[in-house]
Amino acid sequence: MLLAAAVGLKPAAAQEAAAQLPQNVLRIIQADGARPIFDSLIAAITAPGRLALRPEIKTASPQAALQAFCENAKEGGPDIVLTTQRMSAAVAADCEANGIKDPVAVELGRNPLVLAVRSGSALARLSSQQVYLALARDVPYKEEFHRNVAIRWSDIDRSLPPLDIRFQLPPRADGSRAAFDMVVLAAGCRGEKLAMQIAAAAERMTRCTALRADRVREIPRDQAVRALLDGPEGTVGVLSLREVEQSEGGLVGVELDGVPAERGEIGHAVLDHAHSVWLYARRNDAALSAAAPGGFGLSQFGLHSFAQGYMGQDAPSETAPPPTDAAVAQIIELAQSDAIIGPAGPLAQAGMMPLPDDERAAQRAALAPRPATYGIAWAMDWTYSIAYGAWYVLETTFQRNRGAMGPGASDLSGLMDLAGYKLKEFQSSIGIVPGATMTFGIAREMSEADRDALDRALRLDSRARTDAVSAIQRRVVRTVLDVGQTEGYVVSTVELTVFPLPEIRLVVSAAGAEK
């Protein structure tokens, strides 16, 4: 069992050990790669007087921690997981199969990845595509992939200095290494047409993240700053923003994709090269209600009348949750608070960049306890939104944004392309009843890196394009993603009809049948 591997138990003894676990212990697994941040969080949420249970803390890789959480729900698995990776659809399916439905996911903040060089280096700026072409084992040339033989940065692009390519990366087990693959290498690979012709997500990601051995070194995190300071000019290292700032001017961040590696620029411009830090826990709405300021009750969230309206009765009776559930709910409540994840909180002091004020508020609202199942209401809202949105599809595709533009703006075709869909045809007719239909077809399977990139693109676009029409574009894309996450199926075709009646039509096929 994976939990046994994660905490050092033999598989045969895992179930017996789970039965003997003390009930007054809160089990936490933290992923390696963000230890300073997680240590600060744990110290804050387990401060004397805050929790009645004693925390038992283990460390594992990000993927092993999430798998232990989902696969060992009934066998003494962790109550809380702190990780540098978002839960994948496959792991979420394991959670569902093991009875963990809709786990709570709290985004604690974002940890910017910085490509750093020695101060005074001539290598001052790079693009993700240039990094990919410098580090990839095989690179596209004409219509095939060939072994990478580039020696100097100027071999990649004549605008770069003629310095030898030297790159130091965190070890593969480090969370920031996975983030580098997902955020930088995959982004650079996305700019190569030949790579994007690989339809299978796993095959494409293998191609995009397979690195050459002659120009890349793996350096443990505790040695990375010193190794970069001692390395020859032109050496690039992957560090945290805090590590660069603590070098006291010895290291500087490389401008990546036009964004200077400065705290103000990263926070307020295009925060595209950052990986999020997450807290995962089991959902218990009764315990969450109890943990809210003011004590038990749906009324604490203004949901009592909501429950009555949808359930036709009073809210359930209020009873104290089990100690473990109560402790987990307290941690979830604390982990969303500005005191912990805000600009003056301990995580910001540990070097993490807080979520913007509006995103922290939106997250608290989204994670509020749910008084009842409201599938019908959700379906009605979905139907209305899509029907309303389809009316504007033609306009949103071919007209410029009406709102205030900002960095990170996208458009419908760009967002759909990132989701793996290409515009196949546009049909229009003129008559007594005019008609207009756009058809998008699936071009490639989305990888987890693509999904994360699309999440970032949608978030950035929501800040850059603030008009209602652009919001509807984003809703259409998210709907395609939500429907396409059904296991074993894929949305093969998206038809958007504007006239005579607004309509979105999704053609759902068995996975593989669309090929």
Dump pLDDT digits (tens) for 402-453.
444 556 678 888 899 999 999 888 877 776 667 778 899 999 988 888 888 8
Average pLDDT estimate for 46-61: 82
Q: What is the SS3 string spanning 333-370?
A: HHHCCHHHHCCCCHHHHCCCECCCHHHHHHHHHHCCCC
Amino acid at site 194: L
Higher pLDDT, 124 or 358: 124
Determine the pLDDT at residue 324. Answer: 83
Question: In angstroms, how far is CA 234 from the centroid of its own chain?
Answer: 31
Would the CATH topology of 2-103+282-366 be identical to that of 111-275? Answer: yes
pLDDT at 54 over 90: no
Determine the pLDDT at residue 97. Answer: 84
Determine the pLDDT at residue 295. Answer: 47
- Cβ neighbour number for residue 394 with a 10 Å cutoff: 19
Give the model's confidence band at 147: pLDDT under 50 very low, under 70 low, under 90 confident, else very high: very high
**Segment of 6-20, 187-201, 252-266, 293-307 carrying the highest mean pLDDT:** 187-201
Residues facing 508 on adjacent strands: 491
**CA distance linking residue 211 with residue 202, whole number of Å:** 16
Determine the pLDDT at residue 86. Answer: 82
Give the model's confidence band at 309: pLDDT under 50 very low, under 70 low, under 90 confident, else very high: very low
Dump pLDDT digits (tens) for 315-327.
444 566 678 888 8
Phi, psi of 410 (to 5 degrees): -125, -170
Q: Which of 137-146, 191-200, 259-268, 442-451 comes out lowest in average pLDDT?
A: 259-268
Determine the pLDDT at residue 513. Answer: 59
Dump pLDDT digits (tens) for 387-402.
444 444 444 444 444 4
Average pLDDT estimate for 138-144: 92
Dump pLDDT digits (tens) for 160-196.
999 999 999 998 877 778 889 988 999 999 999 999 9
**Structural element, H or E, at residue 26:** strand 25-31
Higher pLDDT, 213 or 3: 213
The average confidence (pLDDT) of the chain is 77
Average pLDDT estimate for 338-358: 87
pLDDT at 342 over 60: yes
Give the model's confidence band at 501: pLDDT under 50 very low, under 70 low, under 90 confident, else very high: low
**Structural element, H or E, at residue 58:** strand 54-60
Burial of 502 from C-beta contacts in 10 A (0-12 / 13-18 / 19+):
middle
Higher pLDDT, 74 or 281: 281
Higher pLDDT, 403 or 495: 495
Give the model's confidence band at 495: pLDDT under 50 very low, under 70 low, under 90 confident, else very high: confident
Closest by alpha carbon to 181, among 136, 151, 244, 214? 136
Domain boundaries 2-103+282-366, corresponding CATH code: 3.40.190
Average pLDDT estimate for 495-508: 75
Burial of 379 from C-beta contacts in 10 A (0-12 / 13-18 / 19+):
exposed
Structure tokens given for 113 = 């990845």
Annotated domain spans of the chain:
2-103+282-366, 111-275, 375-510
Query: 3-state DSSP call for residue 44?
Result: helix
Structure tokens given for 156 = 């990649």
Class of domain 111-275: alpha beta
Spell out the residues 6+ positions from residue 232 whose beta carbon is closer than 8 angstroms to its own.
164, 166
Determine the pLDDT at residue 70. Answer: 87
Query: 3-state DSSP call for residue 308?
Result: helix
Give the model's confidence band at 472: pLDDT under 50 very low, under 70 low, under 90 confident, else very high: confident
Query: 3-state DSSP call for residue 283?
Result: coil
Burial 151-161 (b: 16+ CB within 10 A, else e): eebebbeeebe
**Segment of 72-81, 251-260, 402-411, 457-466 carrying the highest mean pLDDT:** 251-260
pLDDT at 236 over 70: yes
Angle at the Cα of 110 (from 451 to 237), degrees rounded to 5? 90
Q: Which of 32-46, 95-109, 401-415 comes out lowest in average pLDDT?
A: 401-415
Higher pLDDT, 387 or 478: 478
Determine the pLDDT at residue 5. Answer: 34
Question: In angstroms, how far is CA 244 from the centroid of its own chain?
Answer: 24
Residues facing 440 on adjacent strands: 423, 494
pLDDT at 198 over 90: yes
Determine the pLDDT at residue 494. Answer: 87
Average pLDDT estimate for 2-24: 42
Residue 335 and residue 82 in contact, taking contact as beta carbons nearer than 8 Å: no
